[in-house]
Amino acid sequence: MMDTSTTTHLKRDRVRDSLFRGATRLSAATVFGLVMAIVIALAFGASLAFQKFGAGFLVSSEWNPVTEQFGAAAPIYGTLVTSAIAMLIGIPLSFGVALFITELSPVWLKRPIGTAVELLAAIPSIIYGMWGLFIFAPWFADNLQPWIQDKTGSLPGLRALFQGPPMGIGMFTAGLILAIMVIPYITAVIRDVFTIVPTELRESAYGLGATTWEVVWHVILPYTRIGVVGGIMLGLGRALGETMAVTFVIGNAQRISSSLFMPGNTISSALANEFTEAVGDTYTSSLLALGLILFMITFVVLAIARLLLGRIGGRI
C-alpha cells in the first residue's frame, strides 16, 4: 500500500518536473522566436524598397513621397551625427560622475547621488522631448548658441559646423539631450567595473605616492578599459535608437546639412513622424527598411558591447 503511493508520487513528480522544465524551455525559445520574428517581419517588409532601390538606398539622400524616390542617407547621417555628439559630451560627463561616486564622494553621499543619476534613466524620453522643445531649446538659442557662433566664427572649419540662425532646435540640441539621457547608462557600467579593481592595486599606487587622478588614469582605467568601452557601447545603443526626445527637438527635415545647428532627421524620428501617414507600398517599405537598418546598427553595437563586457566579466 505504502509502496504504491510512493511510486505514484514519484511518477506524478516526474511528470510535473518535465512539464515545468518544458514550460521554461518553451518560454526561453519564445524569446528567441520573437527576436527572429522581428528580423523576418522587418526584412520581409523592407524587401520591396531594397528591390527597387538596391544598395543605392543606403547612399541616396533623396526622400520624396510624391515621386516615390527614397534613400536612407539623410536619416542615417542624422542618427550617426546626433549619437556622435551625444558620445562626445556624454562620455566625459559620465566618466566624471562615475569618478566622483567611486573615488571622491563621502560614503553617506554615494547612495543618494547614485540614485539621483539613475533616476535620469527613469524619466520617460517624451518628457526629455517636451522639456527640450519648450524649455531647453529657447534657453539654448538665447544664451549658448550666439556665444558658440561668436567663438567659432573666426575659425573657418568650425564656422561651417555652427552656422545658421540660432533656432534652438536642430541636430546639436538633439545630441545634447541624448548626452544627458545616456549618462546614467554609461555611469552605471563605469561604476561597476571601477569597483572590481582589486584594492591591492589601488593601495599600492597610493602607497607609491600617486595622486587620486594618477591612480584613476594610470591604474584603474587601464585595468578596466575593456569594460568602460563596453559601457560606452551600451550608451551608444541607447542614443542610436532613442525616438521621442529626438523627434521633439531635431526639427524633422529630410536633408543633410553641414551645420549642426540646422534641423535634421534620424531614423527613429523619421519613423515616428511618417510611419502612420505613409501612403503606398514603396513608402511604407522604405520606412520599414529604415527600421531594419536601425535594428541592425543597434544589434552590431550591442554585440560589441556584450563581447567586451563579457570578457571583463570573465576576469572578475
Q: Nearest approach, Cβ of 135 to other proteins (angstroms)?
A: 5
Closest CA to 299 of 74, 38, 90, 97: 38
C-alpha to C-alpha distances, 179 to 70, 119, 153, 233, 282, nearest whole angstrom: 30, 15, 25, 13, 34
Q: Nearest approach, Cβ of 213 to other proteins (angstroms)?
A: 4
Which lies closer to other proteins via its Cβ, residue 135 or residue 155? 135
Which three three-digit cell numbers place residue 34?
520573437
Which three three-digit cell numbers place residue 270?
523619421
* 117 touches other proteins by CB under 8 A: yes
What is the residue-wise DSSP string for 191-221?
HHHHHTS-HHHHHHHHHTT--HHHIIIIIIH
From 68-76, 166-174, 194-202, 242-250, span contacting other proteins (CB under 8 A): 242-250
Q: Nearest approach, Cβ of 124 to other proteins (angstroms)?
A: 3
Q: Looking at 7, 13, 165, 281, which residue binds other proteins (CB under 8 A)?
A: 13
* 268 touches other proteins by CB under 8 A: yes
Q: Looking at 54, 68, 88, 119, which residue binds other proteins (CB under 8 A)?
A: 119
Which three three-digit cell numbers place residue 252?
524633422
Closest CA to 217 of 104, 311, 99, 101: 99
User: Residue 138 contacts by C-beta under 8 Å, 6 or more apart in sequence?
Assistant: 168
Q: Looking at 113, 138, 203, 280, which residue binds other proteins (CB under 8 A)?
A: 113
Residue 64's SS3 state is strand
Which lies closer to other proteins via its Cβ, residue 74 or residue 287? 287
Q: Looking at 80, 123, 226, 253, which residue binds other proteins (CB under 8 A)?
A: 123
Which lies closer to other proteins via its Cβ, residue 51 or residue 115? 115
Q: Rounded distance, CA 300 to CA 293, Å?
A: 11
- Stretch 61-100: interaction string toward other proteins, x if CB under 8 A: -------------------------------xxxxxx-xx
* 59 touches other proteins by CB under 8 A: no
